[in-house]
Each structure stands twice: as C-alpha cells, then as structure tokens.
C-alpha cells in the first residue's frame, strides 16, 4: 500500500495545491503488517525501511502541503505517516502509540526523526519504552496534533484547512514545507543565512508582488483577532 500512497502523493503534487490524507472507516492507519515483517530477511527490511523514507519524504518535502485527518488508530507506521504531513487534525476517537518496543522491533518509517522532532525524543522514548497510548488531547498537548475536533469531524476540518492553504502562494507553501525542516537541521548562523535567501527569493515572485500590491491597495483581507 505504501506504493499506492506514493502514486497518489505524486499525482496530488502534480495536480493539486494541497492534500489531505485520511483513513476510510474508523481508523487512520495502524502501520506495518507484523506477520510479513517478521518473515523479512535483513537486507529486505533495510530496503523496505528506506522505501518508506523515500515515500514519506515525497509528502514532507514535496511541493504541496498535506493535512492528516486522524480518527481511531494512528499507530506505529501510521503515526510515522501522520508525522510526515504538515498539519495534523485528530478527532475525539484518535489514539496514538508506538508499540515497536513491545514487539521487539524499532521504528522504520522515519519516526526516529519526524516523531522525535514533533514531540521530543524523550516523549517518543516514553511511548516506545512503555507502550503508552495517547489520546488526542494528550497528543495535542505534546505538540503532535494541531487541531482536536469532535468525533467524525476530522476529515471535514482537514479539507477546510487544506483548501485555505491551497490559496497561499505556491512558492511560499513550497518554502514553508522545504525550508523550515532544513533550517531546523542547521546551526543558528546557517539557518538565519538560509532564511534571508528564501525570504528574498519569495519576495521576488510575481505572486508576492501581486499579493503585496493587493494588501497595500486594501483589496486583501486583514489579519483579524481569533475571536472576531
């Protein structure tokens, strides 16, 4: 199925300005089929993990932003998939776990990088060592999801968010999803330099010029208070 995800993600990158990943039915994704994984030779396991990395990288560092709409289980590889998206919306049924520690295996879909950076390596280690299962509220408090909504409302909210992101300048969206994680990997000095370069490039686009002109001409919406 990861190959099917990749084909869909690449198609979305070609023809959409934002994407939503969701699970049909009551669950988002519960990750790897452990029955097959246990039979996999060592090098096949390495290649499989590297393939996950490549596919999830097409989501995280592609050309358009993705929103995960999470209900039910986001477990193991399912949580790693969610962590590759840029915004995560969870409904009240969502739960999150990394049971690899209890299964005698290890995360292989980029979780040690993405989940660790999302919630912190200490909390990720807690989840793996103890088998702790988090509900949506706890995961929001830990920074793993940005929105918690009522049961069954995650997909609708995710589509709203994606539609709003789709109205952003394409280059700015590209810069947000590609520059921010790379700058986070840099030293402060290098990060600030890279930021100046990206900011200058963004300002030079026709889209930026049009949008800035619209704002100055009072044709663009102003930022409002959140309770407005």
Active-site amino acid positions: 80, 100
Pick the closer one to other proteins by CB: 72 or 198: 72
Task: Output 31 or 179, the one with its CB closest to other proteins.
Answer: 31
Q: Min. distance of Cβ 183 from other proteins in angstroms?
A: 27
Considering beta carbons, is residue 4 or 223 the nearer one to other proteins?
Answer: 4
Question: Between residues 74 and 198, which has the closer beta carbon with respect to other proteins?
Answer: 74
The CB-of-35 to other proteins minimum distance in angstroms stands at 6
Q: Shortest distance, CB of residue 29 to other proteins, whole angstroms?
A: 5
Distance from C-alpha of 212 to C-alpha of 48, rounded to nearest angstrom: 46
- What is the nearest approach in angstroms of other proteins to the Cβ of residue 20? 5
What own/partner pairs with CB < 8 Å and gap ≥ 24 does 115-123 have?
115/79, 115/80, 115/83, 115/144, 117/184, 118/83, 118/143, 118/144, 119/143, 119/144
Shorter beta-carbon distance to other proteins: residue 94 or 198: 94
**Cβ at position 201, least distance to other proteins in Å:** 23
Q: Is 169 exposed, middle or buried (0-12, 13-18, 19+ CB in 10 A)?
A: middle
Q: Which residues of this protein are in contact with other proteins, per CB under 8 A?
A: 1-5, 7-9, 11-12, 15-25, 27-36, 48, 51-52, 72-73, 75, 77-78, 95, 132-135, 138, 159, 162-163, 166
DSSP string, 94-150: -EEE-THHHHT----SSHHHHHHHHH-HHHHHHHHHH---EEHHHHHHTTS-SEEE-
- What is the C-alpha separation between 65 and 79, in angstroms, rounded? 17
Cα gap 86→73, rounded to integer Å: 19
Cα separation, 16 vs 13, whole angstroms: 6
């Amino acid at each position: 199925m990861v190959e099917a995800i990749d084909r869909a993600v690449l198609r979305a990158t070609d023809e959409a300005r934002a994407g939503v990943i969701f699970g049909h039915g009551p669950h988002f994704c519960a990750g790897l089929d452990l029955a097959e994984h246990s039979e996999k030779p060592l090098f096949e396991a390495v290649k499989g993990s590297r393939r996950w990395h490549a596919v999830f990288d097409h989501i995280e560092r592609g050309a358009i932003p993705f929103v995960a709409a999470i209900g039910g289980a986001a477990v193991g590889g399912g949580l790693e998939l969610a962590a590759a998206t840029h915004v995560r919306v969870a409904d009240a049924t969502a739960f999150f776990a990394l049971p690899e520690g209890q299964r005698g295996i290890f995360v292989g879909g980029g979780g040690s990088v993405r989940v660790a950076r999302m919630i912190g390596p200490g909390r990720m280690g807690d989840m793996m060592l103890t088998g702790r299962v988090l509900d949506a509220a706890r995961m929001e408090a830990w920074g793993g999801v940005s929105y918690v909504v009522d049961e069954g409302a995650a997909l609708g909210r995710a589509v709203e968010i994606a539609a709003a992101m789709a109205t952003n300048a394409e280059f700015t969206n590209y810069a947000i999803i590609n520059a921010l994680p790379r700058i986070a990997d840099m030293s402060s000095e290098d990060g600030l330099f890279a930021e100046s370069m990206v900011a200058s490039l963004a300002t030079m686009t026709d889209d930026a010029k049009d949008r800035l002109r619209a704002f100055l001409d009072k044709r663009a919406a102003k930022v409002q208070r959140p309770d407005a």
